[in-house]
């Protein structure tokens, strides 16, 4: 897909909707409670015999629409409550397709971006800090324990690992960054290793940037998100470990997510898609696959 087309995929209608500073606080709280502002009951027609009228749209609903990820094929004003994936800001549109994973096969490990598969299939790159829960999420998505273990084998952790799903698209496991306790020699030079991949990989539909929601925003994640944003790399924020409530101390996942979004806001003109997940409870798994299906199907068309 040409870069311009790719840009359109991830720069939908929201670009034109300004977010003033006075909106920002409000938007953050609305973004995290998307389902409450417009309940099903408020959209019901009180007189079932009356001709179907367009439901009234409150300011709150109009505002919530400005923080949503509205995919191609949907106009923001068409969005209704049941089009929004729970635990996310993602609207489902006409490109949603079969999201089931029927088979997955490890294809190859590449040490350089130019060694990656050249068959032009669309791909999603999974990226995150070491220990963010990337292997667990990949295993949960494909429902196989051994898949992400491949990339944990010694020697494969610094490689770009391609997994072919349903013989039609790839999940790409990228090296984790920021090994907190590793000696300097074992730390990955993420910048030189993967920057080329992000900047040149034509078949990259979206980076799934995994962020641990059980801890407050980390500088290294913010740096990574900001770099991707500045370089217009399509991104979906996947918050992991959303089941985890630190016993009394620390912040709750939704507070950490809100803070993270606040901190990356200035590098994104629109709200990137984001979704809450837990590999322990299965939260967000099916929803994330649906989101990926609509991005993929749009890319394919």
Strand order in the sheet with 169-173: 104-110, 160-165, 169-173, 123-128, 204-212, 235-240, 274-276
Number of H helices, E strands in the chain: 8, 7
> Which residue from 6, 134, 201, 296 is in contact with ligand GDP, where contact means CB under 6 A?
134
Task: Choose one: 18-26, 29-37, 130-138, 288-296; the region binding ligand GDP (CB under 6 A).
Answer: 130-138
Per-residue string for binding with ligand GDP, 93-122, x by CB under 6 A? ------------------------------
> Which residue from 57, 99, 130, 268 is in contact with ligand GDP, where contact means CB under 6 A?
130
Q: In the structure encoding, which two tokens stand for residue 66, read together? A: 């400005």
- Count CB neighbours of 170 within 10 A: 23
Task: Choose one: 86-94, 125-133, 157-165, 268-276; the region binding ligand GDP (CB under 6 A).
Answer: 125-133
135 vs 261, beta carbon nearer ligand GDP:
135
Please answer whether residues 68 and 84 qualify as being in contact, where contact means their C-beta atoms are separated by less than 8 angstroms: yes
> Which residue from 19, 101, 113, 131 is in contact with ligand GDP, where contact means CB under 6 A?
131
Distance CA 90, CA 26 (A): 18
Q: Which residues contact 136 (CB under 8 A, 6 or more apart)?
A: 148, 240, 279, 280
Rounded to the nearest 10°, the torsion over CA 85, 216, 161, 11 is 50
- Binding to ligand GDP in span 260-279, by CB under 6 A: 278-279
81 vs 223, beta carbon nearer ligand GDP:
223
Q: For 155-168, b where at least 16 C-beta lie within 10 A, e where not — what string?
A: ebbbbbbbbbbeee
Question: In angstroms, how far is the first alpha carbon of the chain from the final one?
Answer: 10
> Which residue from 135, 161, 293, 297 is in contact with ligand GDP, where contact means CB under 6 A?
135
Is residue 161 a contact residue for ligand GDP (CB under 6 A)? no
109 vs 294, beta carbon nearer ligand GDP:
109
131 vs 267, beta carbon nearer ligand GDP:
131
Is residue 291 a contact residue for ligand GDP (CB under 6 A)? no
- Stated as kind and residue range, the H or E segment containing 262 is helix 253-264
Per-residue string for binding with ligand GDP, 229-248, x by CB under 6 A? -----------xx-xx----
Is residue 89 a contact residue for ligand GDP (CB under 6 A)? no
Residue that has been written with the tokens 């009394």 in this structure: 248
Q: Taking the complex as a whole, how short is the minimal distance between the CB of residue 134 and ligand GDP, in angstroms?
A: 3
Tell me, by CB under 6 A, how many residues bind ligand GDP.
Answer: 16
Give the residue from 12, 27, 5, 10 showing the smallest Cα distance to 79.
12
> Which residue from 71, 133, 217, 284 is in contact with ligand GDP, where contact means CB under 6 A?
133
Contacting residues toward ligand GDP, per CB under 6 A: 128, 130-136, 176, 240-241, 243-244, 278-280
């Amino acid at each position: 897909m040409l870069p311009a087309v790719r840009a359109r995929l991830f720069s939908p209608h929201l670009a034109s909707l300004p977010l003033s500073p006075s909106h920002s606080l409000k938007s953050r709280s609305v973004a995290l409670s998307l389902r409450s502002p417009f309940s099903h009951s408020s959209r019901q027609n009180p007189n079932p015999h009356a001709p179907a009228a367009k439901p009234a749209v409150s300011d709150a609903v109009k505002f919530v629409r400005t923080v949503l990820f509205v995919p191609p094929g949907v106009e923001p004003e068409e969005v209704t409550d049941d089009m929004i994936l729970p635990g996310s800001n993602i609207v489902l549109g006409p490109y949603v397709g079969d999201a089931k994973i029927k088979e997955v096969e490890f294809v190859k490990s590449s040490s350089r971006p130019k060694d990656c598969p050249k068959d032009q299939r669309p791909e999603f790159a999974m990226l995150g800090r070491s220990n963010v829960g990337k292997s667990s999420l990949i295993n949960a998505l494909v429902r196989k324990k051994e898949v992400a273990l491949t990339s944990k084998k010694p020697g494969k952790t610094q490689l770009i690992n391609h997994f072919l799903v349903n013989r039609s698209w790839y999940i790409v496991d990228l090296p984790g960054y920021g090994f907190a306790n590793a000696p300097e020699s074992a730390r990955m030079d993420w910048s030189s290793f993967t920057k080329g991949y992000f900047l040149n990989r034509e078949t990259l539909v979206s980076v799934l940037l995994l962020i641990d929601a059980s801890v407050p925003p980390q500088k290294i994640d913010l740096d990574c998100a900001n770099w991707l944003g500045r370089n217009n790399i399509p991104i979906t924020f996947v918050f992991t470990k959303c089941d985890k409530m630190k016993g009394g101390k620390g912040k709750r996942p939704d507070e950490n997510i809100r803070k993270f979004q606040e901190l990356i806001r200035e590098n994104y003109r629109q709200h990137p898609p984001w979704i809450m997940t837990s590999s322990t409870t299965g939260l967000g798994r099916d929803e994330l696959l649906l989101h990926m299906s609509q991005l993929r199907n749009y890319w394919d068309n």
